[in-house]
Amino acid sequence: MESLRENATLASALPAYPAQSGRELQEKIRARTAHAGVLGLGYVGLPLALEMARAGFQVTGIDLVREKVDSINAGISYIPDVSGERLGRTIAANKMRATQSLAAAENLDTLNICVPTPLRKNKDPDLSYVIAAVEAIRNHIHPGQLIILESTTYPGTTREVVLPVLEETGLKVGRDFFLAYSPERVDPGNQQYTTRNIPKVVGGATPRCAKMAALFYEQFVETVLPVSSTDCAEMVKLLENTFRSVNIALANEMALTCHSLGIDVWEVIEAAKSKPFGFLPFYPGPGLGGHCIPVDPYYLTWKAKMNGAEPRLIELAGRINNQMPSFAVRGIGDALNERRKCLKGAKILGVGAAYKRDTNDVRESPAVSILEALREKGASICYSDPFVPMLTIKGQMLKSQVLSTELLQSMDCVAVLTDHSVLDYALIAASAPLIFDTRNALKDFPKANVVRL
């Protein structure tokens, strides 16, 4: 930890650069007169842009989706973690604007790239968004510019993919422009830890790049932790999410084992976490979702295999987590069968569609997978999610239902798939004839009609 504290002070002692462009950028950042830009205005990019604006920077947000650009410029937020009031104030103060034009990069002093990095069907990394973004801004890069990649990716991406494209301009990294990698650590729905107070890991293409990027983040993030390289910074993100994936897999496998033994896995975890050392509680669930945990470990395994390593534990964790939606569907079928009802033709309400609580993100959502599987097995499905007004299941558009006593009583089974904090669990427990709880959301309602994962 002492070395981290020492490194964190390096940015404060940033020396003047011999290149005029570097000195000017340094002065602009410190004075907060630099024109900052963010490419990609999703869960990561929009909160990041607002923090820059809050610190006093003039911010331009770039996104190719017109609806997002129009919404931002109108002061209307499409992300639950960003209040419309805050966004509206920022726009009204002329501290931020959004555009679809990549040419806007020509007028920027800094540019953070926050575009998606999904997986291909064969689980290989898909860097097409990153490559397209970098090739586009290559035509607009200028001396004295700081470019930071935040998209999650495998170690070596910044050095092997991004840097060569930018240096095709004839500009030299660390002298004419500055390049760094800083992994996003956004936790959607978490009101305690936000862009401002989550420590920012920064790795530069050169030591000068690292110091310039750290100086920039210091203006609007409470803690900055420089590391030795972009490769190291890229690996940090993969370790964090692989750690979660592996430990969630252990919790899920424990749930499967406890089920076979007739033991309450939730009671086991609650008792185990009373140990004040050597144990960190993770919880089972219907599967993994979102843009990070189901994806990031595959970036790591792909890179590891490319270099002759065998990441067997990581791959096994992925297989365990991927089977949880099927286990939930079997559990719902078994719960119905015990009540002399058949899954085929049963009326089932899915409570929650987002991949995690208090978000509207349905990417890789296990709730969606479960609803699709139930429909394939002949169940009549509907859903209720206050954050997801519309949902497509196997080509059919569904509208979120408002929870009511009448709706809940009309169902054969209510499956709690996402534990949103705003849901009325007392109403669900009192009204539904059968509840299959995949999140232990009804732990305070130990009734006979509640079956837990």
Which residues participate in catalysis according to the annotation? 292
3-state secondary structure of 145: strand
> Measured between alpha carbons, how far is residue 383 from residues 166, 372, 451 in Å?
47, 11, 19
To which residue do tokens 């005029």 refer? 20
187-198 as b/e: b if 16+ CB within 10 A: bbbeeeeebeeb
Identify the bridge partners of residue 383 per DSSP, sorted by sequence position: 350
CA distances from 357 to 188, 290, 295, 399, 452 (A): 9, 11, 19, 19, 18
Mark out the alpha helices in 74-206 (DSSP H runs).
84-92, 128-138, 157, 163-167
Provide CB contacts within 8 A for 154, sequence distance 6+. 125, 234, 238, 299, 300, 302, 303
Token look-up 């069907």 returns 121
Q: What is the DSSP letter of 227?
A: E
> Are 80 and 57 contacting, i.e. CB atoms less than 8 angstroms apart?
no
Angle ∠(205,240,188) on CA atoms, nearest 5 = 100
Question: Letter for the amino acid at 174?
Answer: G
- How far, in Å, are 117, 157, 202, 301 from residue 125 at the CA level? 7, 11, 22, 10
Which two structure tokens, joined as six digits, stand for 12? 């404060």
* Phi and psi at residue 274, to the nearest 5°: -70, -15
CA–CA separation, 127 and 263 (whole Å): 44
